[in-house]
Structure 1
Amino acid sequence: MKTNFQKLLLSLPIMLLTLSAVTICACNEASGRQEKEKTNESDLGVKPITGTWINLAYKDVRNKYANPQNFDNTDPELWKAKVRELSAMGIEYLVFMEVANEGKAYYPSKLMPWWYDNNRQSPVEAILDEAARHNMKIFMSSGWAKDQDDNLLDPAIKQRQLQIMEELAALYKDHKVFYGWYLPVEDCLCPVFAEHAVQSVNTLTEKAKALTPGKKTLISPYGIGLSEFDDPEYEKQMAKLKVDIIAYQDEVGCVRDAFTLPRLKKNWQRLRDIHNRLNIEMWANCETFTWEQGTNDRTSALIPAAYPRLLSQQVAASAAGVDKIISFMFCGIIDDPQSNYQLGQPIWANRVYNDYMDWKNRTEHWQLAEAAFMERLSNGVTAEMMSGKAELKALLDGRVAEEDSKDARWVKFGKGYHEFVVDLQKKTLVKRAMLRLLNYNLEGISMPLKVYLFTSLDGKGYELASIKDAPHFPNNKHDAWIESILFDRLDENVRYVKVAFEAPQQVYIDEFFVNPVIK
């Protein structure tokens, strides 16, 4: 289904100072660079990821790569390095998942013994101090009272959470980066937010406001794929919450549906409509992970998802007008290959880092891929220019599909050799071309190994103009995502363009863009 995307307006600064001509030029040049840096992040309205949780405890196999078990996870130098790297990636908000676990603290507690050597700085303080050097903002956790399975209905658990908050407020409420509280009430919004969860949130919020007036409060519930938005009780329950920010888990990584993204786009729009009537900020908690083995299984490791899947999540959240995008798993899933402290799945955490940073730096490939997700990429050719079978004309109709194998806009190619020819009808300068393909391993829909592009003046003799390797990303046990193959720097004055490939399995293509233009 087509989605109408909102374009966010960007304002440019006006130079009001009267300076010498040389100074004005210098200032304008500097201002231009600064504005370019800002707009590069989101010049089509797609928000970058600006926050992530920090997880200090090894919990189970899900942390196999992101937080390995058999090393000292309390080393302050490790956390200082990760904070620096996250800041360099554009992360502004850090959210502590927990400051204690199994009755021991990651800060200098008087309530509990410590996880770390008392001759070293605590990991909590190392993170706070390094974040201050980079002007970041911290949400402090109120847990865990016991462990990741804290039962909020247990009075002893609730009491210990309040005691942790009192200690943390006494220690850090005046710290430069203390921005607010993360309240670990991750109950399900299914079909509505339960009354006990509402009361748990409000009890913690009341304590937070009393201890640290003016600090924000954040929760991150799950279950928007199971929510009953049409039930009047849904909005009624949300309206009871006294929290400042709700960062909804988008559940794409948890694979709530076989094809999560199409429904997610509608869910974000429904939530935006509700939040327009609430005095609560709406943030997206985009899941960057997929699963090494089974989904939603504590014996299965979390590993990086392909960046095109995440970009589609960013587009969906941005189009609905979320206030900010953060992610539960950024640290330890998307990892700088130059880091001295390599976390994350080897090779592929670095690959996603490179892809994400290329998107932030507005490389042509990702600009075009993003515009196609937003349905803002115009094709320079028309369906009438496709030669051969009638069904191939859909490859030039300007209509893109969604991450769903049943979407009728996919043109399907079986195993074997395939080619198609575009007749430009006159000699035309072809600068670039792009294919969009579905990757869905569960149904045997994959990439060709290589794609060949030929050009011709007369439609008889063809010259090889480019060969591109199709993207390869092995973490594909559960997800459907859309890949783009860009043929750039062609600069060919030709009439005919031919695409050829060998399909090892089914190949689904929705559009072949020739000289695409971003609207």
Structure 2
Amino acid sequence: MKKNFLRLLLSFSIMLVTLPAVTICAGNDASGKQKKEKTEASDLGVKPITGTWINLAYKDVRNKYTNPQSFDNTDPELWKAKVRELSAMGIEYLVFMEVANEGKAYYPSKLMPWWYDKDKQSPVESILDEAARHNMRIFMSTGWAKDQDDNLLDPAIKQRQLQMMEELAALYKNHKAFYGWYLPVEDCLCPIFAEHAVQSANALTEKAKALTPGKKTLISPYGIGLSEFDNPEYEKQLAKLKVDIIAYQDEVGCVRDKFMLPRLKKTWQRLRDIHNRLNIEMWANCETFTWEQGTNDRTSALIPAAYPRLLSQQVAASAAGVDKIISFMFCGIIENPESNYQLGQPVWSNKVYNDYMDWKSRAEYWQLAEAAFMERLANGATAEMMSGRPELKALLDGRVAEEDSKDTRWVKFGKGYHEFVVDLQKKTKLQKAVLRMLNYNLDGIGMPLKVYLFTSSDGKEYKLASIKDAPHFPNNKHDAWIESLLFDRLDENVRYVKVAFEAPQQVYIDEFFVNPVIR
């Protein structure tokens, strides 16, 4: 095929590009019939997300989509529906972020007035009852004594938390769904866990054990990106804690670093080593969100991150051996498009739902992406099969890069037209191929609009075998993540494979897997 014809084809395709349509019925096959969905964990040991927080209070613009201000968020029917949806997604643990705010309660309190209509069931009770129907487990909150900025050093705040705990225990300690307590002691592990935070957590734990023997206690501190793991006091402070579970915020959504994921992998390993000497479970609190405007800004809404970023977070936590993965925010970030109560950013919260559920059902696309993150995807081609410039050989060397534009394993392509050719050296049955690319808008690194795959028997005459749209996800103001493009159902006996694309900006590729095999 002549190059000028290919350029014309590429240009025509670019003119036709629109935003991708979102599949409304997740889990349907090509005929529209509902597939039986598997929900078991990954064959490679990557853990699914099995817990999430429930947020009852609209606090600020961060809740713009997750808990909109414009409707009654105390409606018991809304929360029953959301609990059912979360259960269907495989969520087993629900954690109340708060059961009171600004001096008013979301449960039938005698300490303070109520936020909800007294003629309706309280949101706390509706969530507890629906969770029990689905054999889910609830962590009850001890906050907020005042609001989201509760000062743990304030004696009045501490006293009100203890009073709330007594009242909640009297109401719900025998409820089937009541599993434990979430202690809102979200202090920073920077550089170590502060003594006042340790004492606050222990005081609440002591009260919890006295009121509800056998119930678990959980905290979820932040700051692992600022932790001094080599400081002997770091482990000593954690060893003082009497809690049962620490669910560390992974801070990927908060963009603690420019490229958080490479360091996070090492961080989880360090924490696992510490927890092996502690009698405390280690959970990962994977952040599913990114930001509509500025990061870590109360005037910026939380919106869903691309699922490949979250999958990499799951892989990092699982590889380190965390006990469970939960998430600060599922509800309003990852939303079932068939819900009667659709919270979340329009379109893209549904897209992430479909991607996550496809991963859980072991769709081939996500199995291959996951295996590549785990460095368990073997390439059926080798570096000497790459034609052209020497640096292109890295595309077949079996080495994958990380979410960092400075990783030397990325092969860089500038704006414009590009192609490369793989000589398989003999007639080979080509069945599938995977192209891995970095998406990092802040450095001007993104996707080609379409990628073309050609095949040939003699290296002279090429046949167009497949055209694929590159993945598109618009919530890319802050994050770096790795996308995969799968060419499947090829089933051709060929010797040469050519990949071509027109890049509207820089494109970074680390590997072109030919007939990949999961090890």
Q: C-alpha displacement at 1:59, in angstroms?
A: 0.1
C-alpha distance in 1 between matches for 2:263 and 2:385 = 34
C-alpha distance in 1 between matches for 2:325 and 2:430 = 37
Q: Match of 1:26?
A: none
Q: Given residue 164 of structure 2, which amino acid in structure 1 is its aligned partner?
A: I
Give the match's secondary structure for 1:392: helix
Q: Match of 1:289?
A: 289
The equivalences for 1:326-365 within 5 A come to: 326-365=326-365
Give the match's secondary structure for 1:52: strand
Q: Given residue 84 of structure 1, which amino acid in structure 2 is its aligned partner?
A: R
C-alpha distance in 2 between matches for 1:462 and 1:89 = 45
Give the match's secondary structure for 1:236: helix
Contact 1:41 / 1:361 at 8 angstroms: preserved in 2? no
Verify: 1:100 aligned to 2:130, yes or no: no
Q: Match of 2:309?
A: 309
The two structures have a TM-score, normalised by structure 2, of: 0.93
The two structures have a TM-score, normalised by structure 1, of: 0.93
Q: Match of 1:399?
A: 399
State the superposition RMSD in angstroms: 0.9
Q: Given residue 467 of structure 1, which amino acid in structure 2 is its aligned partner?
A: I
Q: Match of 2:116?
A: 116
Verify: 1:325 aligned to 2:325, yes or no: yes
Contact 1:106 / 1:123 at 8 angstroms: preserved in 2? yes
Q: Given residue 235 of structure 1, which amino acid in structure 2 is its aligned partner?
A: E
C-alpha distance in 2 between matches for 1:42 and 1:323 = 15
Give the match's secondary structure for 1:269: helix
Give the match's secondary structure for 2:497: strand
Q: Match of 1:55?
A: 55
C-alpha distance in 1 between matches for 2:111 and 2:223 = 34
Q: Match of 1:266?
A: 266
C-alpha distance in 2 between matches for 1:201 and 1:91 = 26
**Structure 2 unaligned blocks of 5 or more:** 1-35
Q: C-alpha displacement at 1:70, in angstroms?
A: 1.3
Q: Match of 1:231?
A: 231
C-alpha distance in 1 between matches for 2:514 and 2:285 = 35
Verify: 1:413 aligned to 2:418, yes or no: no
Q: Given residue 370 of structure 1, which amino acid in structure 2 is its aligned partner?
A: E
C-alpha distance in 1 between matches for 2:453 and 2:329 = 38
Q: Match of 1:148?
A: 148
CA 1:385–1:264 in structure 2 vs 1: closer, same or farther (change >3 Å)?
A: same
Q: Given residue 63 of structure 2, which amino acid in structure 1 is its aligned partner?
A: N
C-alpha distance in 1 between matches for 2:98 and 2:40 = 34
Q: Given residue 85 of structure 1, which amino acid in structure 2 is its aligned partner?
A: E
- Deviations, residues 76-117 of structure 1 (Å, cap 9, x unaligned): 000000000000000000000000000000000000100000
Q: Given residue 354 of structure 2, which amino acid in structure 1 is its aligned partner?
A: N
Contact 2:201 / 2:243 at 8 angstroms: preserved in 1? yes
CA 1:39–1:86 in structure 2 vs 1: closer, same or farther (change >3 Å)?
A: closer
The equivalences for 1:381-460 within 5 A come to: 381-460=381-460
C-alpha distance in 1 between matches for 2:73 and 2:321 = 37
CA 1:39–1:71 in structure 2 vs 1: closer, same or farther (change >3 Å)?
A: closer
Contact 2:39 / 2:361 at 8 angstroms: preserved in 1? no
Give the match's secondary structure for 1:41: coil
C-alpha distance in 1 between matches for 2:116 and 2:39 = 42
Q: C-alpha displacement at 1:42, in angstroms?
A: 1.9
Q: Given residue 106 of structure 1, which amino acid in structure 2 is its aligned partner?
A: Y
Give the match's secondary structure for 1:434: strand
- Deviations, residues 471-494 of structure 1 (Å, cap 9, x unaligned): 000000000000000000000110
Q: Given residue 145 of structure 1, which amino acid in structure 2 is its aligned partner?
A: A
- Deviations, residues 298-335 of structure 1 (Å, cap 9, x unaligned): 00000000000000000000000000000001111000
- Deviations, residues 61-88 of structure 1 (Å, cap 9, x unaligned): 0000110011100000000000000000
Give the match's secondary structure for 2:85: helix
Give the match's secondary structure for 2:419: strand
Q: Match of 1:279?
A: 279
Q: Match of 1:205?
A: 205
C-alpha distance in 2 between matches for 1:40 and 1:75 = 32
Q: Match of 1:175?
A: 175
Q: Given residue 483 of structure 2, which amino acid in structure 1 is its aligned partner?
A: E
Q: C-alpha displacement at 1:41, in angstroms?
A: 2.0
Q: Match of 1:137?
A: 137
- Deviations, residues 251-273 of structure 1 (Å, cap 9, x unaligned): 00000000000000000000000
Q: C-alpha displacement at 1:40, in angstroms?
A: 4.0
Q: Given residue 470 of structure 1, which amino acid in structure 2 is its aligned partner?
A: A
Q: C-alpha displacement at 1:396, in angstroms?
A: 0.2
Give the match's secondary structure for 1:459: coil
Contact 2:403 / 2:482 at 8 angstroms: preserved in 1? yes
Give the match's secondary structure for 1:425: strand
C-alpha distance in 1 between matches for 2:341 and 2:95 = 20
C-alpha distance in 1 between matches for 2:68 and 2:253 = 20
Q: Given residue 91 of structure 2, which amino acid in structure 1 is its aligned partner?
A: I
Q: Given residue 158 of structure 1, which amino acid in structure 2 is its aligned partner?
A: K
Q: C-alpha displacement at 1:38, in angstroms?
A: 7.3
Q: Match of 2:164?
A: 164
C-alpha distance in 2 between matches for 1:211 and 1:292 = 42
Q: C-alpha displacement at 1:43, in angstroms?
A: 1.1
The equivalences for 1:71-90 within 5 A come to: 71-90=71-90
C-alpha distance in 2 between matches for 1:149 and 1:455 = 61
C-alpha distance in 2 between matches for 1:106 and 1:289 = 26
Q: Given residue 416 of structure 1, which amino acid in structure 2 is its aligned partner?
A: G
Q: Match of 1:28?
A: none
Verify: 1:515 aligned to 2:512, yes or no: no
Contact 1:253 / 1:289 at 8 angstroms: preserved in 2? yes
**Structure 1 unaligned blocks of 5 or more:** 1-35
C-alpha distance in 2 between matches for 1:326 and 1:39 = 16
- Deviations, residues 350-388 of structure 1 (Å, cap 9, x unaligned): 000000000000000000000000000000010000011
Identity, in percent, stands at 90
Contact 1:436 / 1:485 at 8 angstroms: preserved in 2? yes
C-alpha distance in 2 between matches for 1:65 and 1:71 = 12
Q: C-alpha displacement at 1:39, in angstroms?
A: 7.8
C-alpha distance in 1 between matches for 2:395 and 2:37 = 35
Contact 1:93 / 1:136 at 8 angstroms: preserved in 2? yes
Q: Match of 1:506?
A: 506
